[in-house]
Amino acid sequence: MLRKKKTYQGFEDNHLAEEYRLYPSNAIISEIYGRFGHLMFGTCLNYLKNQQDAEDCVMEIFEGLPEKLAKFEISHLKSWLFMTTKNACLMRLRKKKMLTSSLEEELTAVVEEGHESAILEVKLEALEAAIGDLTIEQQRAINLFYLDKKSYQEISDILQLPLKKVKSAIQNGKRNLKLKLENHDSFKSA
């Protein structure tokens, strides 16, 4: 007798991540892709401006998704996927030297010599790694506050968190980043 394959169509979005953490299954990844793949592709296309790059980026995200779903406790799957997608796009753009956000423009305007540029690159990589080590809540709050220039209230609305929790996430995230970066060689002399 064949065993009936479990479907996840009736699951709420936010329960899919928890279900995967408890019972990892390719069927859950497929369900997430079916629900959000097109939104993630649209986000990638918006940032990358190239269909092939957008498709590649979405596939790379889904390749790493099982590990991240197993590792992190995700309470708002849709917004977490959006931030993950956005961060993947920004990293891809930065690697291609195509990123023209105001943050990159300010940083490159300060850097004039090749040696300083190499130091800055190391610092940016260390900063990205340190942000990646924060809790998901802190990552999203830090990104929204510093990169997207959102107010506390806007972040509260986007993340559906109380204002005090948003302020706490930003404050704790900043403190944790400072501690992580103080231990990094490229920041010791700065």
Sequence-separated contacts (24+) of 175-184 with Cβ below 8 Å: 176/130, 176/133, 176/134, 176/138, 177/127, 177/130, 177/131, 177/134, 177/142, 180/130, 180/133, 181/126, 181/127, 181/130, 184/126, 184/130
Token pair in block for residue 23? 């019972």
**Local confidence band at 52 (pLDDT 50, 70, 90 cut-offs):** very high
For 117, the token pair is: 């540029």
Domains and CATH numbers, the chain: 8-99 (1.10.1740.10), 100-190 (1.10.10.10)
DSSP letter, residue 11: S
Backbone φ and ψ of 66, nearest 5°: -55, -45
**To the nearest whole percent, how much of the chain has pLDDT over 90?**
22
pLDDT surpasses 90 at 59: yes
Instruction: State how far the Cα of 54 lies from the Cα of 40, in Å rounded to an integer.
Output: 9
Query: Does residue 126 surpass a pLDDT of 80?
Result: no
Matching residue, tokens 């986007």: 158
CA 28 – CA 16 distance, rounded (Å): 7
Give yes or no for residue 82 having a pLDDT over 80: yes
- Global pTM reads 0.49
* Nearest in space to 86 (alpha carbons), one of 131, 135, 56, 47: 47
| The pLDDT of residue 2 | 47
Give the pLDDT mean for 24-44: 91
Which secondary-structure segment (H or E) carries 139? helix 136-142
Per DSSP, the three-state class of 22 is helix
pLDDT tens digit sequence for 17-31: 888 888 888 888 999
